Amino acid sequence: MSKEVRIKRGLNLKLKGKAEKQIHSIGAPSVYALLPIDFPGLTPKMLVKEGDEVRAGQPVFCDKRDERIVYCAPVSGEVASIDRGPKRIIEAVRILPDSEQKYEEVPNWPAQGKKEEVQQWLMACGAWPFVRQRPYAVVADPAQTPKSIHISCFNSAPLAADLEFALHSMEGLFAAGVEVLKKLTPGKIHLNVDGSEATPRFISETKGVEVNRFFGPHPASNIGVQIHHLDPLNKGEVVWYVQPQDVVLIGRLANEHRYETERTAAVCGSGVDKPHYVKARIGAQLLPLLHNNLKPGKQRVISGDVLTGRKAGSEGFLGTYHAQVTVIPEGDQPEFFGWLSLDPKKFSISRTLFAWLNPNKEYELDTNMHGEERAFVVSGEYEKVFPFDLYPVPLIKAIMAEDIDRMERLGIYEVAEEDFALCEVVCTSKLPLQETVRHGLDLVRKEMM
Partner 1 sequence: MKAARSFFDSVRPHFEKGGKWEKFYPAYDAFETFAFVPGHTAHSGAHVRDAIDLKRTMVTVIFAMIPCLLFGMYNVGLQHFRALGQPDAAFLDMFLFGALKVMPMVVVSYAVGLGIEFAFAIVKKHSINEGYLVSGMLIPLIMPVDIPLWMVAVSTVFAVVIGKEVFGGTGMNILNPALTARAFAFFAYPSWMSGDKVWVNTSGGTVVDGYSGSTILGNLAVTGKAGVGYADWSMAEMVIGTIPGSIGETSKIAVAIGAFILLWTGIASWRIMLMSALGALSMGLIFNAFSGIVPSPEMQGYLGIPFWQHLIIGSWAFATVFMATDPVSGAQTNTGKLWYGFLIGFFGIMIRVFNPAYPEGMMLAILLMNVFAPLIDHYVIEANVRKRLKRVQPVPAKA
Asked if 134 contacts 416 with a C-beta cutoff of 8 angstroms, the reply is yes
Interface map 234-273 toward partner 1 (x if CB under 8 A): xx-x------------------------------------
186 strand-pairing partners: none
Chain centre distance of CA 417: 11
Q: Helix, strand or coil for residue 124?
A: helix
Question: Rule CB under 8 A: is residue 336 a binding residue for partner 1?
Answer: yes
User: Which of these ranges, 42-50, 197-205, 248-256, 403-411, lies near partner 1 under the rule CB under 8 A?
Assistant: 403-411
Q: CB nearer to partner 1: give 309 or 319.
A: 309
Q: How far is the CB of 395 from partner 1 (least distance, A)?
A: 10
Question: Rule CB under 8 A: is residue 366 a binding residue for partner 1?
Answer: yes
H helical segments located in 131-170: 163-166
Question: Rule CB under 8 A: is residue 335 a binding residue for partner 1?
Answer: yes
Q: How many residues bind partner 1 (CB under 8 A)?
A: 74
Question: Rule CB under 8 A: is residue 424 a binding residue for partner 1?
Answer: yes
Q: How far is the CB of 15 from partner 1 (least distance, A)?
A: 8
Q: How far is the CB of 68 from partner 1 (least distance, A)?
A: 20
Restricting to residues 374-393, which ones interact with partner 1 according to CB under 8 A? 374-380, 383, 389-391, 393
Q: How far is the CB of 261 from partner 1 (least distance, A)?
A: 25
Binding-site member from 211, 353, 404, 443 for partner 1 (CB under 8 A): 353
How far apart are the C-alpha atoms of 255 and 271, rounded to whole Å?
39
Q: CB nearer to partner 1: give 131 or 427.
A: 427
Restricting to residues 291-310, which ones interact with partner 1 according to CB under 8 A? 300, 302, 306-309
Binding-site member from 328, 396, 407, 441 for partner 1 (CB under 8 A): 328
Asked if 73 contacts 54 with a C-beta cutoff of 8 angstroms, the reply is yes
Question: Rule CB under 8 A: is residue 6 a binding residue for partner 1?
Answer: no
Restricting to residues 157-196, which ones interact with partner 1 according to CB under 8 A? 186
User: Which of these ranges, 50-58, 92-100, 317-325, 370-378, lies near partner 1 under the rule CB under 8 A?
Assistant: 370-378
Burial category of 276 from C-beta neighbours within 10 Å (exposed 0-12, middle 13-18, buried 19 and up): middle
Q: CB nearer to partner 1: give 134 or 281.
A: 134
**Edge-to-edge strand order for the sheet containing 23-24?**
23-24, 276-280, 263-268, 324-329, 299-303, 310-311
Restricting to residues 44-83, which ones interact with partner 1 according to CB under 8 A? none
Task: Please state whether the peptide bond connecting residue 59 to the residue before it is cis, i.e. omega within 30 degrees of 0.
Answer: no
Binding-site member from 223, 280, 346, 387 for partner 1 (CB under 8 A): 346
What is the number of other CB atoms lying within 10 angstroms of the CB of residue 234? 9
Asked if 31 contacts 285 with a C-beta cutoff of 8 angstroms, the reply is yes
Tell me which H or E stretch contains 6: strand 4-6
Asked if 251 contacts 175 with a C-beta cutoff of 8 angstroms, the reply is yes
Query: 330: closest CA among 306, 365, 299, 292?
Result: 299
Restricting to residues 141-160, which ones interact with partner 1 according to CB under 8 A? 145
How far apart are the C-alpha atoms of 304 and 35, rounded to whole Å?
14
User: Which of these ranges, 90-98, 247-255, 279-287, 347-355, lies near partner 1 under the rule CB under 8 A?
Assistant: 347-355
Neighbouring residues of 256: CB distance < 8 A, sequence distance ≥ 6: none
